[in-house]
Amino acid sequence: MLGRLNHVAIAVPDLNAAINRYEKVLGAKVSAPQHLPEHGVTVVFVEVENTKTELLFPLGDNSPIGAFLEKNPSGGMHHMCYEVDDILAARDKLIEDGVRVLGDGNPKIGAHGKPVLFLHPKDFDGTLIELEQV
């Protein structure tokens, strides 16, 4: 079912400072900020040869990243994103196996313009999993 690791997402309390660290200190290429109001986040991608790191910052008062940062004021790993060929088939199989899909169970369009779903962290050893259709 799972394809390659697409990205690891890190919630950050100061997006500009995080961008500066990745660009200036680590010498990485960082994308322009992208606002995703339907997900309540602003994101940038740190691009490296074999994957990406997504930096997440709250957008709006009801952002899930705002709630995450209240519990983790220094920031931290938020989720891991894996690619799947068919997100609906993956969802149906996971639900059949007892995995909880967050939200209403229907994919939303993610930062890469592709359908995504999130799986409950309690079903994956405390790690929030994002699936992205490729």
- Which residue blocks in 21-133 are alpha helix, DSSP H? 64-71, 87-96
Q: What is the rounded distance in angstroms from the CA atom of residue 131 to the CA atom of residue 124?
A: 13
CB count within 10 Å of CB 53 equals 18
* 49 annotated active-site: no
Task: Tell me the helix, strand and coil percentages in the chain, rounded to 5.
Answer: 25, 35, 40
Active-site position among 38, 70, 96, 130? 130
Catalytic residues: 130
